[in-house]
A and B are shown apart, each in its own frame.
Chain A
Amino acid sequence: MKITDIITGLNLKVVSGHNGLSNEITGGYVSDLLSDVIGNAKEGQIWITLQTHQNIIAVASLKDISAIIIVKGLVPEVDTVEKSNIEKIPLLSTEMDTFNIAGRLFELLR
């Protein structure tokens, strides 16, 4: 599935990284511990987190994660937005909490 389909399906806002919107999504991963994402996330997944620090982009780039969904309407730092554009990794935003957005994503990818 394309990121654009997920954005439409889950009603997400695109914060940055518009140049990466053609990435393919192979699955999802949910975690707020960056070391856990480094250890366990898989290439092509879309990652749901509440972390907004710039290190999330470095982790996503390292693991070839396709996009990041930031929950609860949290606003990513300026550095994070800049790095998302440089690395072509879309930062997507939802007002929903992790439980609800993960449930909807699971349904959509099933």
Chain B
Amino acid sequence: MDFFRADLHIHTVLSPCGDLEMSPGNIVSEAAFKGLDIIGITDHNTTRHCDLITKMASEKGIYVMQGAEVTTKEEVHCLAFFENTDTLKKFQEFLDASLPEIKNDPSIFGYQVQVDEDENVVYEESRLLINALYRSIKETAAYIHSLNGLFIPAHINRTKNSIYSQLGFLPDNLDADALEVSKTTTPEQFLKSHPEIKDFTLIRSSDAHYLNDIGTAFTSFYINAPTFAEIGMALRGENGRKIVIE
């Protein structure tokens, strides 16, 4: 087994707040430059850039965790990851059916565009992606797990759109595969003020919206090979797999 560096929280140009430079090609090049082995593609409430980035990243030997950063009804941001195209597609249908029909105004929120390998715009999402879904955090977690996906509440240390900011404290029935802290803290530091979450696996990632952000926080996975199953085992601490945060 070996250590694989993972930054599991990266936005693309498809997220309204994602910089226009965050094209699939640029993200893959930057991840390779930063020495990342695994990247998570997590746009707000959409998975539409995952396929292309997976294809482009595999050419550089980078494994892509395909998913999204969902906004639940309570306005809690949560990462969701899926093993294959089939489950990712089902999750996209869930997102399409759960997102309010409220239009994006690019002059306020930013453009929501999907591009091809040569950075030509192929699709523009008209609905505002940063809105909250009509789905509670519990329903969302249950649906992700029904597709054998991973459910990870995002940047729990932040004072907005985190499970703590929105719900005051962790619900006693929270079925999370891990919890994420952002780069402004470390799991060790966060645990000092929140000892109640010591039984959860904590990961740390960059929440990159600009190319420079990519890899500025990462989690090392001690696994056999970068695969979805191995990453899941590491989050659960199974069979000698584990995660380490440097």
A binds B: yes
Contacts of A37 in B (CB 8 A): 168
The answer to whether B168 and A35 have CB atoms under 8 Å apart is yes
Q: How many A-B contacts are there with CB distance less than 8 Å? A: 31
Most buried by A among B136, B168, B173: B168
Contact of B19 with A by CB under 8 A: no
The answer to whether A54 and B168 have CB atoms under 8 Å apart is no
Report the bound CA distance from A52 to B72 in whole Å. Answer: 12
Contact of A11 with B by CB under 8 A: no
Contact with A along B108-125 (1 / 0, CB 8 A): 000000000000000000
Contacts of B169 in A (CB 8 A): 34, 55, 58
On whether A34 and B168 interact (CB within 8 A), knowing A53-B74, A54-B173, the answer reads yes
Contact of B137 with A by CB under 8 A: yes
Interface residues on A, range: 10 to 19
> Would you list which residues of chain A between 71 and 99 have a CB under 8 Å from chain B?
77, 79
Q: How far is the CB of B134 from chain A (nearest CB, A)?
A: 11
The answer to whether A51 and B74 have CB atoms under 8 Å apart is yes
The answer to whether B165 and A55 have CB atoms under 8 Å apart is no
Q: How far is the CB of B194 from chain A (nearest CB, A)?
A: 13
Report the bound CA distance from A34 to B165 in whole Å. Answer: 8
On whether A53 and B167 interact (CB within 8 A), knowing A77-B136, A77-B138, A79-B138, the answer reads yes
Partner of B165, one of A35, A51, A52, A54: A35
The answer to whether A53 and B165 have CB atoms under 8 Å apart is no
Task: Please report whether the interface of chain A is mostly helix, strand, loop or mixed according to DSSP.
Answer: helix
Contact with A along B145-178 (1 / 0, CB 8 A): 0000000000000000000111111011100000
The chain B residue sitting closest to A55, CB to CB, is B167
> Would you list which residues of chain B between 161 and 206 have a CB under 8 Å from chain A?
164-169, 171-173
Contacts of B171 in A (CB 8 A): 53-55
Q: How far is the CB of B232 from chain A (nearest CB, A)?
A: 26
Contacts of B167 in A (CB 8 A): 34, 53, 55
Report the bound CA distance from A38 to B167 in whole Å. Answer: 11
Contact of A102 with B by CB under 8 A: no
Contact with A along B52-76 (1 / 0, CB 8 A): 0000000000000000000000100
Contact of A12 with B by CB under 8 A: no
On whether A53 and B137 interact (CB within 8 A), knowing A34-B168, A35-B165, A59-B168, the answer reads yes
Report the bound CA distance from A53 to B174 in whole Å. Answer: 12
The answer to whether B136 and A38 have CB atoms under 8 Å apart is no
Q: How far is the CB of B191 from chain A (nearest CB, A)?
A: 19
The chain B residue sitting closest to A83, CB to CB, is B172
Contacts of A33 in B (CB 8 A): 165, 168
Q: How far is the CB of A41 from chain B (nearest CB, A)?
A: 12
Task: Give me 7 other A-B pairs in contact (C-beta within 8 A), A38-B168, A53-B171, A77-B138 excluded.
Answer: A34-B166, A35-B164, A53-B136, A53-B137, A55-B171, A58-B169, A59-B168
Residues of B within 8 A of A (CB): 74, 136-138, 164-169, 171-173
The 5 A-B residue pairs whose C-beta atoms are closest, nearest first, are: A34-B168, A55-B167, A35-B168, A55-B171, A53-B74
A-B contact pairs, 5 of them (CB 8 A): A35-B164, A35-B168, A53-B171, A54-B171, A59-B168
